[in-house]
């Protein structure tokens, strides 16, 4: 194994200059407010809402709880929720946590988002909502999903954990559906260390979600069942310090992705970008011809201190704690062969070339 070169992991969080973060920390000490919807949090919500061009932007503790309180705010705490098996486990766990049954619809083979042509056959009298995922920041078939939702009177909650910075037909991907939920975890292209958000279409639903995230009460008055999904001023400070760098972060990720594209063209399958999508370059997924090929690439990269990730794996319909088995053959196939290569702003050009050359050598 190569021990002379720095290890390269799937991602590395962007950190702003310390003095820029500490400038906001000093404000926290001056204000003596650490949490409970403090001034830095409100400032961050306003900046992100303006940047995305959305209203009713709710900053919360993480992307998973964003999904859970989205379901709760829409009154969905029983019945079935149609979703995708190709996502991180949080998509399915949030449905289960709310006491609902996830009903899996297989994915499109080209861009790995939920196959809109297979949704209607899964709708029953118990179906309450559709929870698609903008996988890797690529857009779902938004028009097709909304048409089905309108026809059957269903809510649409987008798991948009990867979608920050992606724009579809002139609007942020977070501006679609009844509620879109985003993640600002440290691994995301824009982060607040931990964090998430809900973007809510309906003003009354937004008021309810705001109550839910604060225990369901205001002062001593209690209105509804709630939870503590409030975020701290220190997390908001990191978000504010990172905010000016969003454009540079996306631009650098695009440069790296284009380097991979040039080196690996014709050797691996890549997601097909939807027409009208301005991509955020959140990830660099590649699909190999077989699982054996993937494992050989991983072995060679690992020997050189490079650690890509099988993402997503396994297909969520295979989770061991589900009450019943649902078949999703395309997702099951793709999850066995897909990986994400290292991608982050500080990844050097020579490291990208080294990674690509090792992959080419195996293939």
Q: pLDDT per residue over 259-271, tens digit each? A: 999 999 999 999 9
Region 338-360: mean pLDDT is 98
CA–CA dist 165, 281 (Å, integer): 9
The pLDDT value recorded for residue 199 is: 98
Residues written for the chain: 363
Integer CA distances (angstroms), 215 to 56, 253, 324, in order: 19, 38, 33
CA atoms within 13 A on the CB side of 296: 12
Whether residue 114 contacts residue 107, with contact meaning beta carbons closer than 8 Å, is answered with yes
Average pLDDT, the chain: 97
The pLDDT value recorded for residue 6 is: 85
| Burial readout 272-298 (b: 16 or more C-beta within 10 A, e: otherwise) | eebeebebbbbbbbbbbeeeeebeebb
Whether residue 95 contacts residue 144, with contact meaning beta carbons closer than 8 Å, is answered with no
The pLDDT value recorded for residue 4 is: 58
Integer CA distances (angstroms), 220 to 25, 170, 211, 215, in order: 30, 43, 13, 11
Helix (H) or strand (E) holding 179: strand 179-183
Alpha helix locations (H) across 191-337? 203-212, 233-242, 246-264, 291-303, 329-337
Axis-axis angle for helices 291-303, 349-362 (nearest 10): 130
CA–CA dist 52, 200 (Å, integer): 13
The pLDDT value recorded for residue 93 is: 97
Sign of CA dihedral 344, 350, 353, 355: negative
pTM score: 0.96
CA–CA dist 181, 243 (Å, integer): 19
Tell me if the bond preceding 248 is cis, omega within 30° of 0: no
Identify any residues that bridge with 159 across adjacent strands, giving them in sequence order: 133, 181
| pLDDT band, residue 219 (cuts 50/70/90) | confident
Region 137-165: mean pLDDT is 98
Tokens of 316: 């969520």
Res. 112: pLDDT tops 50: yes
The pLDDT value recorded for residue 1 is: 47
């Amino acid at each position: 194994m190569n021990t002379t070169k720095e290890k390269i992991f799937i991602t590395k969080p962007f950190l702003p200059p310390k003095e820029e973060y500490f400038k906001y920390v000093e404000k926290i000490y001056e204000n003596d407010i650490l949490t409970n919807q403090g001034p830095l949090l409100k400032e961050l919500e306003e900046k992100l809402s303006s940047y995305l061009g959305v209203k009713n932007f709710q900053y919360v503790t993480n992307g998973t709880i964003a999904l859970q309180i989205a379901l709760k705010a829409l009154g969905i705490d029983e019945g079935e929720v149609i979703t995708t098996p190709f996502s991180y486990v949080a998509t399915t766990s949030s449905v289960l946590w709310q006491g609902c049954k996830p009903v899996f619809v297989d994915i499109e083979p080209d861009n790995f988002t939920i196959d809109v042509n297979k949704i209607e056959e899964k709708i029953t009298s118990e179906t309450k909502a559709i929870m698609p995922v903008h996988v890797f920041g690529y857009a779902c078939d938004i028009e097709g999903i909304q048409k089905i939702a309108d026809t059957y009177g269903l809510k649409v909650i987008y798991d948009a954990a990867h979608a920050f910075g992606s724009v579809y037909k002139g609007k942020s991907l977070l501006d679609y559906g009844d509620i879109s939920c985003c993640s600002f975890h440290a691994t995301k292209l824009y982060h607040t260390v931990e964090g998430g958000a809900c973007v809510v279409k309906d003003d009354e639903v937004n008021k309810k979600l705001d109550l839910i995230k604060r225990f369901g009460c205001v002062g001593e008055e209690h209105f509804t069942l709630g939870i503590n999904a409030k975020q701290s001023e220190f997390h908001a400070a990191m978000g504010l310090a990172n905010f000016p760098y969003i454009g540079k972060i996306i631009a650098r990720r695009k440069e790296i992705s284009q380097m991979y594209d040039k080196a690996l063209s014709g050797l691996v399958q890549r997601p097909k970008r939807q027409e009208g999508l301005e991509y955020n370059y959140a990830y660099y997924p590649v699909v190999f011809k077989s699982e054996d090929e993937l494992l050989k690439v991983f072995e060679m990269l690992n020997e050189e201190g490079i650690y890509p990730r099988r993402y997503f794996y396994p297909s969520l319909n295979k989770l061991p704690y589900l009450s019943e088995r649902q078949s999703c053959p395309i997702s099951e196939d793709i999850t066995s062969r897909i990986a994400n290569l290292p991608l982050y702003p500080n990844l050097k050009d020579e490291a990208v070339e080294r990674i690509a050359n090792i992959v080419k050598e195996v293939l």
